Amino acid sequence: MSYVFKPLDIFLEQVKKLPKKEKEQLKKRLELIRQNPFRHKRIHSTKYTRVFRARMKIQKKETRLIYAVIEPNIILVCFLDRGKDYKDLEKYLAKIRGLK
pTM of the predicted protein model: 0.90
**pLDDT tens digit sequence for 26-70:** 999 999 999 999 999 999 888 888 999 999 998 888 899 999 999
Superfamily of domain 4-96: RelE-like (3.30.2310.20)
Q: Using CA atoms, how far apart are residues 39 and 63, in angstroms rounded to an integer? A: 17
As a whole number, mean pLDDT of residues 94-98 equals: 80
**pLDDT tens digit sequence for 8-23:** 999 999 999 999 999 9
As a whole number, mean pLDDT of residues 64-86 equals: 88
* Domain chopping of the chain, boundaries: 4-96
Q: How confident is the model at residue 85 (pLDDT cuts 50, 70, 90)?
A: low
Neighbours of 5 (CB within 10 A): 14
Q: What is the pLDDT of residue 98?
A: 67
